[in-house]
Structure 1
Amino acid sequence: MRLHWVVNLGIALAQANTTNYVDAIVLAAREAAQAGVRSVWFGQRMDYDSAALAAIVGREVPQLQVGTSAIPVVGRHPLLVSAQAQTTQAATHGRYHLGLAVGSSFAAGAFGVPFDRPITRLREFLTALRELLDTGTADFHGELLTATPPMPTALPGAQPRVPVLVAAMGSQSLRVTGELADGTLPYLAGPKTLGEHIVPAITKASSTPPRIVAFVPAVVTADVEAARAEAVRQLSFYDQVPSYTRVIELEGATRAADLAVIGDEETVAAQIRRYFEAGATEVVLTSTDLAGPEDQRRTWKLLGELGSGISTN
């Protein structure tokens, strides 16, 4: 098979076993950029702030787009998230993409707050955030949130307006996301689920074509069996989360690891193509470390080649 197509591709970047996480991430981001990767994304964890990490990486590696995927809205306020996002946007000179998530009882429990009425909270959060980013102020009074800043909130240099994406996959969250955000960040939603459920639902709710940034666990490797076993270990957490088990079942799979794309360059490239054919506007590969550092670099090299339109035989 001969591949020759230019696409929007990125990676979700994480590091392990390091003495300074930020330093290690910057070095890895530089290596990814040298391989031709166009964007790097950071999940929100309990040990670092993803928007701050994106700001540092975007500042240090100016050829990269940077994004967060995804900051839960539970336990946070749109005023604070707006300030974080604008600071990162100014630091990266307009290369930041804010990814949000509804959250879960797990995330809410860490803050000691209830996980109740998540769709209402998402709608109110996005409404207030959009007003803050669009106008530089807000006068929002909802049932769960209030945003009435006593001073302007627009930050010089935070242009263009930060794009807002939501990790939405259910019908209600997709409707809210389509109405109030710029697109969605589905994870573990295979091509069938993407094309038959997610893309139609968000497109119907959107006034403009939405961004569909599909996050896909994938690695280029010759040792498929070992990588699959590692995928089972790394992704087993998602087999217990209802929002993920739903999309896994919709795809006809039984566990998250079944959706990991593992194989040689032709295999991985062909599967990436399926996501674009299903309606993805961008694809971000996660878990590229499943088979070790050498195969991770091999995966990044493939993304660089596909993103540059280089032919791969």
Structure 2
Amino acid sequence: MANDDGMSPEVQRMIQEAQAMMTDEVMEETLRSKAGVDPSHLATLLDLVAIGITNGAWRNSCIENWHAEGRLSDGDMMRINSYTTDAVRRRLKGWCIESGIISASSSALEGTDVEDMDVLVGRIFRWLTNAERRLPTGMTLGELARSREDLEEYEDHADRALSGFTGQMEDKGVRFGLLRTACHGALACSQWWAHPTWPDRVERFIRVLDDATEPHWGSNGERRERLGVEPPSVEDRDILRSTLLESPWKLDATAAEWIVDAGIGYLTPETGLSAATASDQK
């Protein structure tokens, strides 16, 4: 007999067995072997958690549908995703300080309980769903949503995603939930700002811009030609590098669109981590 979700007892059993195999050690090894990340380094772990939360609670929602409808361009998505990741990361780090977690090692998270995480998640939810929150594009979230119904659709998604984030901690502990979300960020979003490979991606992108013979541009450089003239804010490579590394959301709309069209998301960083398993930052 199936349960309320339509799952048979056999399917339920298989899911439970698979979940039982997921442990802190499995998540740590995944980060090491698949993403080249040291899970004991707290700052790096929090960066990846921020990416994972942003991808799950923001991008993989009706926001992506609004993007497809033309409400947001590819360049807009790059700016908003990086801005949102930064905001989530700042809240994670602020919460750590408030909780007395000042060690550089992620083992300091072991004494944290789910109630403490509920406070953090509540802050993230309120910030994400604030209709008056202004996006890097200049519009507010409410203006992007266009209707109360659309805004509520996003609120429902964010609530489900963040509830899932804390729900897994109730079963296996706070550190497990953070490690699992970090794996999500590391493997599903390796083209995102704040990912450990982002600095190498930026450096390669800067080099490629000044090398018309780079295979990235095609056999005859045709892709580079199709891009057209560089926006003024792209011409100064030092400023471009600094902005991409520190705050891509501060790019102007024209530059952000040009950079995405130039294929920054398709360049493989020279770090041994393949971009083949990554999702697009768009």
TM-score, length basis structure 1? 0.23
Larger Rg: 2
- The structure, 1 or 2, with the larger RCO (C-alpha pairs under 8 Å, 6+ apart) is 2
Bigger fraction of residues in strand: 1
TM-score, length basis structure 2? 0.25
